Amino acid sequence: MSDPTVSAAVAKLYDTYPFPPEPILDEPPPGYNWRWNWVTAYHFCTGRKPDRSDIRILDAGCGSGVGTEYLVHLNPQAQVVGIDLSAGTLAVAKERCQRSGADRVEFHQLSLFDVDQLPGEFDLINCVGVLHHTADPIRGIQALAGKLAPGGLLHIFVYGELGRWEIHLMQQAIALLQGNQRGDYRDGVQVGRQIFAALPENNRLLKREKERWSIENHRDECFADMYVHPQEIDYNIDTLFELIDASGLEFVGFSNPQVWQLDRLLAKAPELIERSRTLTDRQRYRLIELLDPEAISHYEFFLARPPFQRTDWSADSTLLAAIPERSPCMDGWDSHTLFNCDYQIVHLSEAEWQFLKACDGNQTRSIQSILNEIPLELAVVRSLLNQQLILLSPNS
């Protein structure tokens, strides 16, 4: 398929089934995604709060505007631009943002490949679930890289082949049964649902659908996006880093880092953990996905355009001098029990709670100053930092 043919087919899918299908609200969306909050995303990537928040953000392949809406509300000083191929989906995005008061946004019906038509550069580019649906992801990521400002961040989400093995088989099965009706997405959804209804209970494809995907696939929009999409490229670690290397940007890290910890799989065999220390980072990532393929249905990660510097807080003296602030991405504050940035439950001790209380809105006090009043070990402060519960600024 040529680029125009692929683009037209993808646009037709999303005109038929605008995606994501989240309801439109007359208020800001609930909760948060810390990856879409410039302050927390920048801190995750660099170890420190950014110097400015009056930035430009691009939502590249914005779909029905679910992420775009969050980008506007989570970044009150930012100007946001959303682009997408589908006119029907963009109409939903515009209505969504208008009704929730997300008014610092403009939309353009534009391909990823034509992003150079937009003026200026962007400090944060969000491209979630898009590159793998293009005919040429390398060309797409290079186009986005060309619009990223120096020191800027690009957040990407693409599919992983190992965790989507059963999905890929079902996609092919539906296509075979559709025959010359392929491209009729409503027919594809109907065929797919008939297949799942007919398969034996112990069928691997059916079991995986029930275990992992069926709740979201209750909606036809999600089912169509997963099983009858006209264009999809899935990755493994080796092909993923071919894509990343082609961008010319710096790989900062996965934005779901807990998945990429080998300890969660081999903690019972410390001698194997020790052996793994001879591996490169990429070899270790490959080992993890080979050992736990079902967990890797996608990759989400940050890239950065140099010059890009990380702040090192490893020295106790440096950390003690830093100015801590409570992360804005936690739900349930100021309770002792709350949800953290990844919506996991955290139980705070009294001392941890008092420390976070002192960090709430803090702009001037150092960690040392706060610890002079609150009995908390510095190791516990490092734990709060590692959990993304506090953000740090150098004490200038």
- Range of the structural domain that residue 218 is part of: 165-227
* Confidence check: pLDDT of 2 > 70: no
Residue 146 CB coordination number (10 Å): 13
How far apart CA 231 and CA 134 sit, in angstroms, is: 7
User: pLDDT of 304-318, one tens digit each?
Assistant: 999 989 999 999 999
Which residues are CB-contacts of 268 (< 8 A; sequence separation ≥ 6)?
Answer: none
Is residue 59 domain-shared with residue 132, that is, in the same domain?
yes
Q: What average pLDDT score do residues 170-190 get?
A: 97
Q: How many domains does the chain have?
A: 3
> Is residue 309 included in any domain, yes or no?
no
User: Which amino acid is it at 305?
Assistant: R
Q: Where among 227, 256, 277 does a domain terminate? A: 227
How far apart CA 263 and CA 270 sit, in angstroms, is: 9
How far apart CA 299 and CA 131 sit, in angstroms, is: 12
- What does the mean pLDDT of the chain come to? 96
* Confidence check: pLDDT of 140 > 80: yes
pLDDT at 3: 74
Is residue 145 domain-shared with residue 172, that is, in the same domain?
no
Is residue 219 domain-shared with residue 266, that is, in the same domain?
no
pLDDT at 191: 98
Is residue 254 domain-shared with residue 382, that is, in the same domain?
no
Place of tokens 């082609």: 246
User: pLDDT of 52-99, one tens digit each?
Assistant: 999 999 999 999 999 999 999 999 999 999 999 999 999 999 999 999
Is residue 136 domain-shared with residue 50, that is, in the same domain?
yes
Is residue 222 domain-shared with residue 333, that is, in the same domain?
no
Report H helices in 228-349: 237-247, 263-266, 270-276, 281-291, 316-321
* Confidence check: pLDDT of 349 > 80: yes
* Confidence check: pLDDT of 338 > 90: yes
Is residue 174 domain-shared with residue 280, that is, in the same domain?
no
